[in-house]
Amino acid sequence: MQSEQTKLRWRLGVLAGVAMMILSLYPQINMWVMQGKEWNGAYAYNDIDEVAYAAYLQALIDGRPRRNDPFTGRDDAPGAKQPESLFSIQFIPPYAIALFARPLGLSAPWAMIITGALAAFATALALFWLLGMVTGDDRIAVTGALMVLCLGTLACAQGAIIQLLGRGYAYPYLPFLRRYLPALPFPIFFVFCALVWRTIRNESKNESKRAFYLLAAGAGLSFAVLVYSYFYLWTTAAAWLACFAVLLLVAKPDGWKRDFKSFGIIGAIGIIALLPYALLLSNRATTMDSVQLLTYTRTPDLFRPPAIIGMLVLAIIVYAVKRGRLEWRDKRTLFAAAFALTPLVVFNQQIITGRSLQPIHYEVFIVNYVAALALILTIAIIWGAIPNAATARR
């Protein structure tokens, strides 16, 4: 394994990004080939929610207000105020796309096609950066990035495995690329995790205070973007950060007090971002909770596939620590363990809050990728520790 300080060969990350971009465009290319000139400007999708997202996006491209309803066609107006909706609260992704599409004269279908390709590229690059920093090996980073994104569907027991087992159709296809959510903000989740790592890794003590505060502020701003992008992304990010903070507090590795300064900055920015968010939620439509299937329960939920993977990873970490393959106070071990804990926290937060909001969206759109990342990162860290342990015994 290369040193953590080894400069990453970014061309490998770019290659991973291009590979994912090609995979993201495959359904569209297939439709162009199958339909020929009769494709009529349509775009290929395999999630019915994309129809509503495309309608809302087209409304913004056409210059209609933020509070417009893609189902009824009603717009916010002085004499007819519209309540906040799922679309108007999560406004950063559609506005970013609309601001790009409008001057170029792009319609929603073309904007969705481009968004999927760019999101695939950016997510692979973000994961490459994250894995490369933690493992110090860009070969593991590029392989791991592709594995996380391509095996995320398997990690939630969906996709091709369903059809191979004769239990249904291979659905969905790369769920993180559902447009425009979670596709567009998806790479920001991993950028957030990477920036958190940059603020706390051991080498950071040699960096200037200015760099430290900039990195912490960058992580906080990334979280703020997630807040106004997709509910399931920002809540997962918050759960992961909480898990990591608790593990650092328990283990108390070198520099842990300094690490909590960065967490304080991130938390402060996050709270500031959540205040207007709470105001928007207070003005939501009265039917929004029932439409989104909000349920009141305190029943544990331990056996979803990502949670099972998380428990498996935690067991691997405990075993590796007992065998001396890992040091439990090592920040890399704690970092990986936080990803493994996140599925259990996310799927069981209702034990404390008493509320559960469509956990299937966590399972398919983010926590499955978190679980896959936990497994791959843990294996990579152990793999890198084996030569070091062997050397130490000589």
**pLDDT, tens digit only, all 394 positions of the chain:** 444 456 899 999 999 999 999 999 999 999 999 999 898 889 999 899 999 999 999 999 999 999 999 988 889 888 888 999 999 999 999 999 999 999 999 999 999 999 999 999 999 999 999 999 999 999 999 999 999 999 999 999 888 888 787 777 777 789 999 999 999 999 999 999 999 999 997 554 556 888 999 999 999 999 999 999 999 999 999 999 999 999 999 999 998 999 999 999 999 999 999 999 999 999 998 878 777 888 999 999 999 999 999 999 999 999 999 999 999 999 999 999 999 999 999 999 999 999 999 999 999 999 999 999 999 999 999 988 554 443 333 3
CA pair distance 112, 117, nearest whole angstrom: 9
CA pair distance 116, 53, nearest whole angstrom: 13
Q: Do residues 125 and 16 make contact, with C-beta atoms less than 8 angstroms apart? A: yes
Residue 390: the pLDDT is 39
For the question of whether the overall pTM of this predicted structure is more than 0.85, the answer is yes
Backbone φ and ψ for 19, nearest 5 degrees, come out as: -60, -45
* Per-residue tokens: 340: 């493994």
HSE (CB half, 13 Å, CA atoms) of 264?
A: 8
Residue 303: the pLDDT is 95
Q: Do residues 326 and 389 make contact, with C-beta atoms less than 8 angstroms apart? A: no
CA pair distance 53, 42, nearest whole angstrom: 15
Both ends of the chain: CA-CA distance in Å? 19
Residue 207: the pLDDT is 66
129: phi > 0 → left, psi -120 to 50 → alpha, else beta; which?
Answer: alpha
Q: Do residues 363 and 305 make contact, with C-beta atoms less than 8 angstroms apart? A: yes
Q: Do residues 358 and 293 make contact, with C-beta atoms less than 8 angstroms apart? A: yes
CA pair distance 271, 207, nearest whole angstrom: 27
Residue 307: the pLDDT is 98
Residue 164: the pLDDT is 80
